[in-house]
Amino acid sequence: MRRTFSRKEFMALGATLAGAVVLPGCSALSMKPATKGRSVTGAKGKEAPILEERVRAGDLPPVAERLPKNPLVIEPLDSTGVYGGSWRTVLESTDASWLWMTVCHDHLISWDPTWSKIVPNVAESYEIIGDGKEYRFRLREGMRWSDGQPFNADDLVFWSEKILRNKKLTPVLPKPLQMDDKAVAVEKLGEYEVKFVFAEPNALFLQQIAIHGPPFRLLPRHYLEQFHQDFNPDVGDDWDQVFLQKIDELNNIDLPVLTGWVPANPHGDGDRMVWERNPYYFKVDPDGSQLPYIDTVVFTFRVEQGSLILQAANGDVDMYMRSEVTVPKNKPVLARGRESGNYRLVDVRDPNHNTMGICLNLTHEDPAKRRMYQNKDFRIGLSHAINRQQIIDLVYLTQGKPWQTAPRPEAPFYKSSDMGEQYTKFDIELAKQHLDKAGYSDHDGDGNRLGSDGKPIVISVLTQSRYPDMVDVLEFMKGTWAQVGIELRIDNASPELVSTRLDANKFDCTLDHGELGYIDMVSDPRWLFATGGSSYAPLWSRWYEGGDPQEEPPEAMQRQAAIYREKVIASSDVDTQYEGIREIIEIARDEFWTMGIALPGGAYAVVSDRIRNVPGDNAMWLSFKCPYPAVTNVSTYYIADD
């Protein structure tokens, strides 16, 4: 009988192990339990038994009629699977990212499982013309949406002409879908062939649509026309809002999709979301059997991270990996439960460059605070007043090393630069010198450093409640910043409220995960200069993206943007792209826009013994630009119960 952890035992275990966090040799951190071997035998047909029943009942056409003429053949990682079962996983509160990383990732193209090349997916093939000015896609003849209706070039033209170019539906053109403020044009070359044409070369287009939640989505014309003003004169004045609700596949379960599973209930309905197999999925295994193998994927919603970890520790999670949960501090509890819970912890490679990026608002609405935060010496002073090694030892269980918001050392374009290590030395006296040099040498009678208004300097740090480890880090920073006369206040809020305040430019400082530190930094350099997604200069970011309100950034950042356009976006030559990124890195090093804590270490995934074809140690990345585990062909995962 499997032993489960009670909440009381779970909390006690966490408290007990907390006392051992500074012991690097702690056996609880080992992730190499003995693997229990299981064999799977039995005949497998060309489709799942539950679909065979529907065919016999007359509810579905035969599988041969449901597949495209040339389905995508997927080679399973370890073994051919069997049909049936449920993939049990979890979802933290309202965060839908894990959905996009698992069941929602089927685009025209995809990264391969090793994150080394772009491969066809929904598209049967593709061709790049003119350094990325034109992209041609050959679609799969006979492919169908999840409701059985044909998928073809008309769907892509509909998206381009009726959604992308409609100001009500797309008020701001996403950067990846435009060049020189002109939207990409989609032209139909045949029933199953289209071309995407840009005004100028956009060499990053494929990388930019291979991410989770991409700017370009595959949407069904036959279903959506009824909600569009151009096709239905009876839609009301608020038709655009209704239309946007209808293209939300997480909450509108009537929306036909192309993914391996389709939602059975809305994301906002109840405490879990169930996805059921798509009878028209376009992938097969080498035997010609339609994928996916697994019947359903069940996401249980957890508001508190503790209950999520408890569910995993009890062996009720088949596969899960998310950067805010599978972190070093949770590893001891999860390691302890492996034997009784029948699961293992799989090492995952981390492409992120930092455990926590610290983003002072360089475009603050208060002119005095803006001048202070834009002062490089002020930022350097704050950086030297952070005891990073103490934080690494006590918050990150000795995993990682002091590091700024710089590319990872193994990034192919990061060479001979000290950007990652600069200003990381904990030195209170040096910190004070830089703060004095910045012009903030006056103190009050209590030792508080004074701003230009004569009042004590207080920095309110806005952080998301779903990242408790960041609050732990701030508690340490609060103490060391106080030693240099700066008061740090922790402003913990929901992800939604944080997003609202960032958009409104109403914050002093915020925190973000130091994502995008490997080759993903080429297509998304937000930490090198303020592009879309940057948290440290909302008005500069909007200048780059073309939104309002905006503000022209400093000359150095404008230089970075120009280099990015000329050498990275406009060239399909990787060496030229890397040369451009290196130039941008050196400018970012000199300007020191943001600061970090540590180079991450110790990423892992929770994988149960009953789920198969999941990659092993160091075969996956904790990335959203290359969405793992989706790119590892999750449709070939299968359940093998004894």
* CATH number for 123: 3.90.76.10
Residue 21 resides in a domain: no
pLDDT at position 43, please? Answer: 67
pLDDT averaged over the chain? 91
Report if residue 53 sits inside a domain.
no
Residue 417 confidence (pLDDT): 80
Within a domain: 502: yes
Under 8 Å between Cβ of 284 and 67 = yes
Question: Are residue 557 and residue 610 in the same domain, yes or no?
Answer: no
Domain end among 183, 213, 244: 244
CATH no. for residue 374? 3.10.105.10
- Assign 36 a pLDDT band (cuts: 50, 70, 90): very low
| Mean pLDDT to the nearest integer, 372-395 | 97
H helix and E strand count, the chain: 21, 26
Please indicate, yes or no, whether residues 290 and 390 belong to a single structural domain of this protein.
no
Which residues is 135 bridged to in the sheet? 128, 196
Residues 367 and 485 occupy one common structural domain: yes
DSSP code string of 537-569: -HHHHHHHHT-SS--PPPHHHHHHHHHIIIIII
28 Cβ contact list (under 8 Å, min separation 6): 17, 20, 331, 332, 335, 336
- Residues 492 and 560 reside in one and the same domain: yes
63 located within any domain:
no
Average pLDDT over residues 588-611: 95
Does 342 lie in the same domain as 223? no
d(CA 513, CA 325): 13
pLDDT band of residue 21 (cuts 50, 70, 90) is very low
Instruction: Calculate what percentage of the chain has a pLDDT beyond 90.
Output: 80
More confident residue, 407 or 469: 407
Does residue 27 fall inside a structural domain?
A: no
The residue from 244, 268, 285 where one domain ends is 244
Alpha carbons 3 and 558: distance in angstroms, whole number: 59
Tally of structural domains, the chain: 3
State pTM to two decimals: 0.85
CA 253 to chain CA centroid, Å, is: 23
In a domain, 19, yes or no: no
Please check whether residue 1 lies inside any domain of the structure. Answer: no
Residue-wise pLDDT for 414-466, tens only, equals 986 899 999 999 999 999 999 999 999 999 999 999 999 999 999 999 999 87
Say what the pLDDT of residue 93 is.
Answer: 63
Residue 323 pLDDT exceeds 90: no
Alpha-carbon distance values, 327 to 88, 176, 305 (Å)? 20, 32, 12
Q: Looking at residue 322, what DSSP letter applies?
A: -
Min mean pLDDT across 6-10, 297-301, 365-369 is at 6-10
Q: Is residue 113 part of a domain?
A: yes
- Cα-based distances in Å from 168 to 164, 186, 214, 510: 10, 19, 19, 31
Q: List all residues 6 or more positions away from 228 whose beta carbon is below 8 Å from its beta carbon.
A: 162, 235, 239, 243
How far is Cα 95 from Cα 329, in angstroms, rounded to an integer?
A: 21
Answer yes or no: do 580 and 434 share one domain: yes
Q: Which residue has the tokens 């036959």?
A: 222
**Together in a domain, 472 and 329:** no
Q: Are residues 401 and 535 in the same domain?
A: yes
| 93 and 116 assigned to the same domain | no
289 and 321 both lie in a single domain? yes
Residues 372 and 511 in one domain: yes
Confidence at residue 9, expressed as pLDDT on a 0 to 100 scale: 38
- Of the three residues 186, 215, 244, the one that is the final residue of a domain is 244
* Contact criterion met (CB below 8 Å) for 560 and 540: no
The answer on 459 and 373 residing in a single domain is yes
Residues in the chain: 642
What is the extent of the structural domain holding 341?
Answer: 81-102+259-350+602-642
